[in-house]
Amino acid sequence: MLKVTISGPPGSGTSTLVSKIAERRDWQSINGGDIFREEASRRGLTVEELSAAAKEDLDVDRMLDSLLQERMSSSLCPEIVESRLCGWWAKMNSIDCLRVWVAVSDDERARRIQKREGGSFEDCLAKSIQRQADDKERYMELYGIDLDDTSPYNLVVDADDKDEEEVFDAVNSNLG
């Protein structure tokens, strides 16, 4: 049964946080990306092909988000769900759980992405800012959701000056 949603922009450390919670609490997790990969496989497409289709047809995103919401509402849902909008879905569907947003500045996200993927800081920063802008526009068009609005989250962790252990501690202490 769902106990916590983890959301944040790319490079914020959500995947690392989910791994730590799952390991230390012996919980299961699902990532919105898992739903995406499952759907690509079901359709006989590569992830890249489904991604291209999603850019051309917003109904692909709507369908994938609907699948995630169904899974989140199921009694078979793992304890942890990670996706950009899962906190919104939990709030909108009245799912009683901790809804976490991991906040990180553009510069810090770029540093983390650069460390993980390489490349110049400037390129990582430009790509990160563009991706965030594209996502903001898409979620506003699809659902009227403003990614800058953290009101659905009952815990916002500013991770700019925190290492992964400090972010984990902040969330874990709120899980009881």
Structure pTM? 0.89
Q: By the 8 A CB rule, do 86 and 6 touch?
A: yes
What DSSP line would sit under 12-34, residue for residue? Answer: SSHHHHHHHHHHHHT--EEEHHH
The ranges assigned to domains in the chain are: 4-105+153-168
Contact 171, 80 (CB under 8 A): no
- Cα–chain center distance at 55: 18
Domain 4-105+153-168 in CATH 3.40.190.10: no
Q: CA–CA separation, 164 vs 150, rounded Å?
A: 21
Residue 127, Cβ density class (10 Å: 0-12 exposed, 13-18 middle, ≥19 buried): middle
DSSP secondary structure code for residue 155 in this structure:
E
* 176 residues of the chain, pLDDT tens digit each: 999 999 999 889 999 999 999 999 999 999 988 888 888 899 999 877 887 888 789 998 899 999 999 999 999 999 999 999 999 999 999 999 999 999 999 999 999 989 988 999 999 999 889 888 888 988 999 999 999 999 999 999 999 999 999 999 999 999 98
